[in-house]
Structure 1
Amino acid sequence: MQYFSNIQRQGELNSDETEPFSNNFSNDIEDNSNKIDSKENDEYLVSNSVGYLGGLKYSELLKGKKNRWKVLLDEVKKLDPRNPVVKAIIRTLVCGFEIPARLVYMIKPGWEKKVFRVINSWGKALIKIAKIKLEIVGNFDIPQDKPIVFVSNHTSPYDIPVIYGTLPVLAGFVANKELATMPVMNYWMKQAHSIFVDVKDTKSRISTLKKIVQNLNNMQHVIIFPEGKMSPDGNLQDFQRGGLQAAVIANACIVPIALNGVREVLPPGDFTINPDKRVIINIGNTIFIDKLNNSEKKRIDQIVYDCLSVLLENARKI
C-alpha cells in the first residue's frame, strides 16, 4: 500500500524534511503527497517489488467482482483441496453470524469490547488454522490515557490476522481500499475504526492522514505498515512519509512490532498457506511522543525505522 511518499534514511534527509510541522496540517500533507509523480511512483513500486505485485494479484483478481469470497474460493480450489486457506476463508465468513449482535448493543454499552473479542478470536483462529508456532518476545506496554500507533513491518497478507490475534486492545488498520469491499471482513474492520485508502488517489492519501489524527484524538488506536507495501524480500523497506507524523501531531504513543516468519506462512500473491511455520513477534518498548524533544519528533520516522530494524534482526536470531 503506497499511501505516503518515500522518506530517505538517516544521513540522506533533505533539509526541507527536517523542518518543524506547520500549523496547517492539510497543506503539509498535500505538499508531501505531491513530491513524487504518480507515474514515477508506480514505476518505482513495480520495479523488483514482489510484495507490491503480490498485492496487485489479489486486487486484480477481485476487481469488479461482486461475490468476492466465491472468487477467492474458486481460485483456491485450483490448488490442493486440503489447503488451509479454505478453512481460513470459512472462519472469516463465520464472523458474519456475529453482525446481528450490533442490534443488541445499540441499547446497551460494550460494543467495542464485543468487536475486540470477535476480531481477536478471528486472528487466533487463523493462527491455529495455519498451525503457526508462535513465539512472542517482550510485552505490550499499553498506557491507559494515550492513543497508540502500532507500527509493524509488512511481509504477508497473513500479517493482519497474526497482529489481530496478538494485540491486547482494539485497533484499526490503515489498509488498502480493496479490503473495504470484502464482505464480513470489511464490516468488522470498519467497526474497529480501520481507515481505507485509495493508493492511487492523492486526495485519498491526504484524507487518510487526517483520519489517522482524528482517530488518535478520539482515543482510537491505529495499526500501520509504514513501508506502505509488502516487502519484496522480507527485509525492512524505506518508510513512507505521513503515518508517524500523524502520531506526533496527535501526541500519541508508538509501539513497534517486528514480525518474522509470517512470509513463510503465506507469501505475497500466493493462495497457499504453509502450515507448521515458526513466527516470532518481537515487541519493542513504547515510544512516548510527549517525552521526545523537538529534534527527536522531527526524526520520528528514522527513530522508529532504526528500532524496527533492531527488533527484526533480533527476531531472526531467536
Structure 2
Amino acid sequence: MSYTVTLKKSGRQFQAEADESILAAALRQGVGLPYGCKNGACSSCKAEIVAGEVDQGPHAASALANDEKTRGFALLCCANARSDVEIDVREVNGVGDVPVKKLPCRVSELVRASDDAMIVRLQLPANERLQFLAGQYLEFILKDGKRRAYSIASSPHADGPLELHIRHLPGGVFTDHVFGAMKPRDILRFEGPLGTFFLREDTDKPVVLLCSGTGFAPIKAIVEHMIFKEIRRPVTLYWGGRRKRDLYLAEAAQRWAAEHAHIRFVPVLSEPDADDGWTGRTGFVHRAVIEDLPDLAGYEVYACGAPVMVESAQRDFTAHHGLPADAFFADAFTSAADLANPI
C-alpha cells in the first residue's frame, strides 16, 4: 500500500510505500530532502507533519525531543506514512542530479595526522570518477553488511585519490582496523556520495564554517571548492579541539587565510595542554562564534563535528542570535555507539 506525501512549501508530491521511510521514498524518486545519518541518530531530516499520520520508528533521544514529537515533528529517515501526509520541510536542490554509486576502491595512502586522526586516501578504478558536492560523505560497506560513514575531505575538482579523515574510536571495529591492520593496496567497497551538507551557492551571504575534530574534513572540501570556483563570499572558519594537536591540518587553514583576504581562520581549544604554549582562543568553539558575531541574522552557518557541538550551535544561534533556521546546515558525526542507543 502506498500513500501520497505532499511538500507544503512547493506542493510537490511523491508516493511512499507503507514499509519504507518517507526519506527513502523521497530519495528513490529523486526528491531532494535534507538528511545526514539516515538512521535516527542526527536531526538533519527533522520535519513537521502538517497533516496525516506517520509511525515514528526508533531514534536517538537527542535527535527528536519529546516536546517536538508533541508539536508534530518527526524524523523522516525513520517515519513511515500511515495515511496521505503533508510535511513542512526544506527542499534541497541539486542533490538529485548527482548519481549515487557502489564502487570498489584501493587504499593508496595512510597518513597519521595526529595520535587519533588518520588521513586515508582511496584510489578508484581507472575508468571511474566520483561526482560529488563538496561536503558530502560516503559509506563503507563492511563484509558483514554494516556501514560506516565518513565525509569526503577532497574537493570535487581535484584529480587523484579521494581523501577521508578518520578519527580513532578505541573499541570501534572499523577504526581499530584503520589504525591497526589497514595497509596500502587494501580493497574496500563504498556507496556515495550521500548527504545534503554542501555549500548553497544561490546567495551572497557571508559564511560561518564551524567544525570540531575531524569535522574539518567536509569543511576543507567546501573551502577548497570555494577557492577553485572563485566564490568570494566572506568566510570565517572556526575549528575547535581539546588540544593543539587536534587541529591536525591547522597549517592548511592558516594558508587559506593568508592567501585570501575574504577568509578568516579562528582556532579554538577547550583544554590546551601546558606544553602547547597556546595563546589563542579557548573555550567552546560555538561560543567563540557568538562572541565575534552576536547577530547572525545575515549569515549562513555550516557546522560539522560532534553532535553536542552541532546541537548547541543550532539551538543558541537560532534561538538567541538571529540566525534563520533555514540558514543552518549541519552534519553531526554519529558513531556506532550513538546508533546503539535509541529511545
The answer to whether the superposition gives a TM-score over 0.5 is no
- Higher RCO (C-alpha 8 Å, min separation 6): 1
Please say which structure displays the higher CA radius of gyration: 2
More strand by percentage: 2
Calculate the TM-score normalised by the size of structure 2: 0.27
More helix by percentage: 1
Calculate the TM-score normalised by the size of structure 1: 0.28
